[in-house]
Structure 1
Amino acid sequence: MHPLATGALAGVVASVSLRALGTNPPGGAERWERTNHAGRRVTLLEGPAYAMGAATAAGLTGAGPGPVLAATASAGLGALDDLAGDSSSKGLKGHLGALARGEVTTGAVKVLGLAVTGLATAALVDRDLRRSATRPHGSAGPGTVPTPVDTLVGGAVVAGTANLLNLLDLRPGRALKATVLGAAAMASTRGARGTTRTGAATSAAAAAGAAVGLLAPDLRGEAMLGDTGANSAGALLGTALVQATGRRGRLVALAVLTGLTLASEKVSFTRVIESTPVLREVDALGRR
């Protein structure tokens, strides 16, 4: 299926899912309500709706089992933190520090779970790439068959992207815009000999389509992705990147993700965005 059709399907399913979940919220509406940065009550049901839209589109349009696993498992881990987490520990450093002290937080479970999910996702993606390489007219070129090292790096990229996008979900529309922009970059990434790697464009389209389908209520400050949706979107973007690149691309992506994650422990992304004119205008675009 054409990526545009995949994106449209993801957007429709995500939008319809949000309406359906809002009509009958699992466990009651209050269970999913939170106070945003402006002091308004918003629903976290956008997160499950995003995962439903993205995973459905990826699964039905041939992205492969890896993207579906990334979108759903990451959403489940995010939901654990959304619904059962506490604020005693914050950030990657805080959760790992608590774990070192023998305190098992939901955030630490999520971090470890994302690592496992990322590795499993990369293993599925690389299995498909190896199969493609062995076909007579496979899309993978000479020397592009993934190795265990490539899979390990790819797993870190998936987990790292899931975590990074979650760090952006602090203002209406910000994480969804980042998803659309990231997906556009993934869709245009070329693999060996100018061919798009298996499933990358489809995965990127599913991620972007679900984001577009939920952008309006997010910008209005009525709903937000939460960890559920942000982790799902980030993991799917990371999967598209893994599908589209070889070892060099994955290593570069991992280095960038590591740098940004470490920087987030010291620097406020919101402050950087608001002090940079271009980023500030894009961030505020469409927001009430």
Structure 2
Amino acid sequence: MIRSLISCAVAGLLGYTATRAVLSSKLRGHRKVVRTNHAGREVSLVEGPAVSAGLVAGSLLIEAPRQRAASLLVTTVSGSLGAVDDFCESGDSKGLRGHLSALAHGRITTGGLKVIGIPVASIAAATILRTGSRGHGPVPSNAKSGDQNWLGSTVDVVVTGGVIAGTANLFNLLDLRPGRALKAGLLTLAFMPHQHGLTWTPGAAIAGSAAAAWPDDLGGAVMLGDTGANALGAALGTILAENSTGKQRAVLLSGLVGLTLLSEKVSFTSIIESTPGLREIDAFGREVV
């Protein structure tokens, strides 16, 4: 228990320190990272690399080797592919439907790379989480007599990967107003069930990174962009996937798929702004409207 508490504290400190270090760097004002936000104000995309760095730094302290490897893999890949989309964007396709349409016509866009790359990394991370000492491997030792178990394990890997990839995508959809994605991340951490071996250290890394970015994000000076939102969502998705039963993961995946499809039809911002409670939480602490 004491070791877990120390790991948790150090992970939070590493997440905070790494995030603040990148936020305070010369990269912040570089012309290639400056964009115009929804309010017509110039903001820096440096928060994305900063939060990604904090999440990776803090995740190094995760005690369970498989969870640590899975978290580092999917957070790094999701953040890196988000950075490609943020800073090397190609094509004018928008949204999941637009990226899939471009891929169907043989056009590879930076957004399309995310559509392919993040799910692949998520399945790889899910395989790490579900295989090995737990006995949940996709290929059982006695395949002839365990075909049904093999099928169930394979489905669980796919569902687990779907939860991780779906959460990464959902947080990208939320990053449309200052502080919204950070608040969603912290609320998710606050209301999920906690086990010290599974959630404390990775949760502390997320909390530390979010705390470091909070003032600048809520002030409208920086934004997560795809880099930070995808990395944050992937890190949270890994915790959710590891801290849930198979049935809970199936329910989570269904909800994530439903929200993704809903986002193609309606604006999350319009729903939030028209819903009492959500509207006030969303606006809390924000300096830029």
What is the TM-score with the length of structure 1 in the denominator? Answer: 0.86
Gaps of 5+ in 1: 134-142, 190-195
Alignment of 1:99-248 (within 5 A): 99-127=103-131, 130=134, 147-186=153-192, 188-189=193-194, 196=195, 198-248=197-247
| Conserved? CA contact 2:10–2:58, under 8 Å | no
Q: What is the match of residue 13 of structure 1?
A: 18
Q: What is the match of residue 262 of structure 2?
A: 263
- Identical aligned residues as a percent: 47
Q: What is the match of residue 53 of structure 2?
A: 52
Return the letter of the residue paired with 1:94.
G
Please state how far the C-alpha of 1:131 moved relative to its aligned partner.
7.0
Return the letter of the residue paired with 1:237.
L
Please state how far the C-alpha of 1:162 moved relative to its aligned partner.
0.4
CA 1:210–1:37 in 2, change beyond 3 Å: closer, same or farther?
Answer: same
Please state how far the C-alpha of 1:148 moved relative to its aligned partner.
2.2
CA 1:160–1:185 in 2, change beyond 3 Å: closer, same or farther?
Answer: same
Please state how far the C-alpha of 1:204 moved relative to its aligned partner.
2.5
CA RMSD in angstroms comes to 2.2
Return the letter of the residue paired with 1:37.
H
Farther-moved stretch of structure 1 (158-167 vs 177-186) = 177-186
Kindly provide the CA deviation profile for residues 110-146 of structure 1, in whole angstroms up to 9, marking residues without a partner as x. Answer: 110011111111112223661799xxxxxxxxx9xx8
| Conserved? CA contact 2:11–2:57, under 8 Å | no
1:31 aligns with 2:32: yes
| Conserved? CA contact 1:184–1:204, under 8 Å | no
Please state how far the C-alpha of 1:65 moved relative to its aligned partner.
0.9
1:68 aligns with 2:72: yes
| Conserved? CA contact 2:46–2:223, under 8 Å | yes
Distance 2:69 2:31 in 1: 34
CA 1:182–1:87 in 2, change beyond 3 Å: closer, same or farther?
Answer: farther
Give the secondary-structure state (helix, strand or coil) at the position aligned to 2:177.
Answer: coil
Give the secondary-structure state (helix, strand or coil) at the position aligned to 2:131.
Answer: helix
Give the secondary-structure state (helix, strand or coil) at the position aligned to 1:239.
Answer: helix
CA 1:252–1:57 in 2, change beyond 3 Å: closer, same or farther?
Answer: same
CA 1:24–1:174 in 2, change beyond 3 Å: closer, same or farther?
Answer: closer
Distance 1:105 1:40 in 2: 27
Kindly provide the CA deviation profile for residues 160-203 of structure 1, in whole angstroms up to 9, marking residues without a partner as x. Answer: 100000000000000111111112233x24xxxxxx38533322
Distance 2:106 2:217 in 1: 37
Return the letter of the residue paired with 1:183.
L
Distance 1:285 1:128 in 2: 44
Return the letter of the residue paired with 1:29.
H
CA 1:131–1:17 in 2, change beyond 3 Å: closer, same or farther?
Answer: farther
Gaps of 5+ in 2: 138-148
CA 1:24–1:165 in 2, change beyond 3 Å: closer, same or farther?
Answer: closer
| Conserved? CA contact 2:170–2:233, under 8 Å | yes
Give the secondary-structure state (helix, strand or coil) at the position aligned to 1:170.
Answer: coil
Distance 1:37 1:248 in 2: 39
| Conserved? CA contact 2:124–2:161, under 8 Å | yes
Distance 2:135 2:247 in 1: 21
| Conserved? CA contact 1:11–1:213, under 8 Å | yes
CA 1:106–1:123 in 2, change beyond 3 Å: closer, same or farther?
Answer: same
Give the secondary-structure state (helix, strand or coil) at the position aligned to 2:60.
Answer: helix
Farther-moved stretch of structure 1 (205-214 vs 233-242) = 205-214
Distance 2:171 2:35 in 1: 19
What is the TM-score with the length of structure 2 in the denominator? Answer: 0.86
| Conserved? CA contact 2:136–2:153, under 8 Å | no
Return the letter of the residue paired with 1:89.
S
Hey, which bits of structure 1, 4+ residues long, moved more than 3 A? none
Q: What is the match of residue 280 of structure 2?
A: 281
